[in-house]
Chains A and B, each alone.
Chain A
Amino acid sequence: MKPRIGVYICHCGTNVAATVDVEAVTEFAATLPGVVIARHYTYMCSEPGQALIKEDARTLGLNRVVVASCSPRMHEPTFRAASHEGGVNPYQVEMANIREQCSWVHPDRHEATDKAKALVYAAVMKAAHLEPLEEREAPVTPGALVIGGGVAGLVAALDIADAGFPVHLVERSDRLGGRVAELNRTFPDLEPVAEWLPALVDQVRRHPNITVYLNSRVTDITGFVGNFEARVGPIEAGLAPAQIQVGAIVIATGYNVFDPRLKPEFGYGIYPQVVTTLELEQRLSSGDLTVNGKTPKEVVFIKCVGSRDQQLGRPYCSRVCCMISAKQAQLVRQALPDARVTVFYMDVRTFGKRGEEFYDEARRAGVRYRRGNVSEIYRRGERVVVRVEDTLLARTVEHEADLVVLAVGMEPRPEAADIAALLKLPRSADGFLLEAHPKLRPVDTAVDGVFLAGCCQGPKDIPDTVAQAKAAAASALIPLMRGVVPMEAATAVVDPELCAGCGMCVEICPYSAPALDPLWGVSRVNAVLCKGCGACAVTCPSKAIRLQHFTPDQILAQVEALVGW
């Protein structure tokens, strides 16, 4: 079909128009081959802006649309949808990035206008070569894989199962409940974990839709959103691995606590007086706080052990240690009313609902907070001495103690790196798994259909973990409940007339999308597997395979326009 192209130049308020002469660009665009109409407007993405495209498309019978505005990464979906409503195939829409890559970076009006013309010219030339493509859908395997049986995994599994989908819950250890099962009471209400966690575990164990795999790990994952295939292998050899098919995956692999032996100056592992907050939880549960058979009179908490520490490569705040310390200090005061309890801190960060109040309660209960950096811990008789620089008095003090509790920070579990490698998930600089967008996609990952819950994404407390688990479950339910997932339309295709069946595309493709047809001896691309990278098209010696929407004639037309203008 002969191209009938509509070109729309956006002012973006003054973002483009202040630097680029939009009228001159519009006049220029109107002279380009195939262009039926060229307009400029204040905000093309606004309702009236989109209406312009729809209206023109219908009345002028446009079959291509070019929008010169912001980056296609911003509004391509908007203009594809608007053009589609006007009867133009969404894949016959091309954008010229004259804001991010022109008006915002080139202050000279003449230069910016000249470049905008070149970009519009190239977009028009590409548009003329664009072919209509069909957006198709692939069916979704109803079911989810949840990796990790801690509180995040339990909650996510329950929500997905309650929505009516089978859930495979894989846990490395021999029990469910994760780290929370090691806790005594939780902040800020000092509620015993035993009052709610066993019930949650029980609900999961008895749920007809949930299959629990204990002592197991995920050893392989292939596929894509809607159609993942995972192998779950028992950690002990000799048992057969299970092969499961799911439509979505929730990762909830949790955290490890910092090993304070990496700070040898604190004497952890040498002095029985020095314990971690996690170990104190167990002692509080058992009610035995004695050290060497004696009841402690002086108890010291040290915060930020393995957190906010550049030298250890852990610059981040672990977010829960301030509240854990305030909780444990209160519980120690209750258990040992005669003991003096001192918390050494860098900062007190008791944010969140009831956080600050809880810190006040600790101080009212007689817990002493002293701002100071601890430099070392050493033995003196039956006690240990905490050597600390009081950062308010600017003085070094020695503080004798019978029990020292190190508020150890959180760190990524090494197994999370294995999962990340299996799924090719990016991790942030701190080693935790990276969300797709820090604000708008906090439980999504770079891989469609894979979601994050709990501390595998970063340190957080139980309410935040549960909130994230429920968000991850809800997100995982989107493809499961829709039953279909959209497939990449811009995939590679083979011209069987040109294909010599050499198999180079089969070799180069990381997704095994092309395969040689045994009957015809030519390559065929499985559109479901193709991600549209285009590596095969370059490698094909007879140019029989090409990536739709980025075909050589389209790209060469762009080159010609950009060099020619």
Chain B
Amino acid sequence: MSDNGFEPKIVAFLCNWCTYTGADLAGTSRIQYPPNVRIIRLMCTGSVDPTYVLKALLDGADGVLVGGCHPGDCHYQSGNYKARRRIIALKEILKQAGLEEDRVWLRWISASEGQRFADTVSQMTQYLKEKGPNPMKKEWAV
């Protein structure tokens, strides 16, 4: 069921200094990728509250991408490490609640990695297309 006409919605929480700038670079380099991703700019992945990710999933987003600086490169010293711990914990909780933790992706993409950003969005879109729509949307929309 790779091409079933289903277009996943991906909400991306990107840090201002690395991945958001990397996404801008993909633009200035005119690297094309699927329009399924919608970006929210934050100053640091260390400020991504797991409730934001949950809210996106419960509202019906088919995937959530959290993108920050490579380990050691955080503009605020250690925000990306904090994000990593929180996302691991969140995925564990999602798993135990029987929810699909593989809809949440955490990726390190630097300001110079426009291609990597575009590739990540392409891969994630393809992955979610094959996986199908987020089942939570129906249940919670009642």
Contact = CB atoms under 8 A, between A and B. Distances in A.
Q: Do A and B come from one complex?
A: yes
Interface of A: 71-73, 97, 99-102, 104-108, 111-112, 114-115, 118-119, 122, 424, 426, 446, 490, 508, 510, 531-535, 537-539, 547, 550, 552, 555-556, 558-560, 562-564
B2 interface: no
B27 A550 contact: no
Given A552-B51, A559-B56, A564-B59, A538 B30 contact: no
Contacts of B31: 105
User: Which of A97, A100, A111, A533 has most B Cβ within 10 Å?
Assistant: A533
Given A73-B21, A101-B23, 14 more contacts: A73-B24, A104-B30, A105-B31, A532-B43, A533-B46, A533-B76, A535-B44, A535-B78, A547-B47, A552-B52, A555-B42, A559-B61, A562-B40, A563-B11
B117 to A, nearest CB: 10
B47 A106 contact: no
5 contacts: A71-B27, A100-B27, A106-B35, A534-B43, A556-B52
Contacts of A534: 42-44, 46-47, 79
Contacts of A102: 27, 35
A533 B52 contact: no
Contacts, number: 126
A288 B7 CA distance: 79
B76 A538 contact: no
B91 interface: no
Contacts of B60: 563
B61 A99 contact: no
Contacts of A532: 43
Interface in B64-110: 73, 75-79, 82, 86
Nearest to A119: B38
A444 B130 CA distance: 47
Contacts of B79: 533-535
User: Which of B21, B41, B48 has most A Cβ within 10 Å?
Assistant: B41
Nearest to A111: B35
A100 B20 CA distance: 10
Interface residues of B, number: 44
Nearest to A556: B55
User: Which of B24, B51, B60 has most A Cβ within 10 Å?
Assistant: B24
A111 B61 CA distance: 18
B123 interface: no
A533 B40 contact: no
Interface string B24-36: 1011101111110
Interface of B: 9, 11, 16, 20-21, 23-24, 26-28, 30-35, 38-44, 46-52, 55-56, 59-61, 73, 75-79, 82, 86, 118
A94 to B, nearest CB: 10
Q: For the complex, would chain A's binding face be called helix, strand, loop or mixed by DSSP majority?
A: helix
A533 B38 contact: no
A27 B73 CA distance: 42
Contacts of B39: 97, 101, 119
Contacts of A426: 73
Contacts of A564: 59
A552 B49 contact: yes
B118 A122 contact: no
Nearest to A539: B82
B57 to A, nearest CB: 9
A550 B43 contact: yes
Contacts of A559: 11, 40, 52, 55-56, 59, 61
B49 A510 contact: no
Contacts of B30: 104-105
Nearest to B78: A510
A510 B76 contact: yes
Contact of B32 (A106, A122, A508, A556): A106
Nearest to B52: A555
Nearest to B27: A100
A79 to B, nearest CB: 15
Contacts of A538: 46-50, 82, 86
Nearest to A107: B32
A97 B51 contact: no
Contacts of B32: 105-107
Contacts of B44: 533-535
B40 A122 contact: yes
Contacts of A114: 35
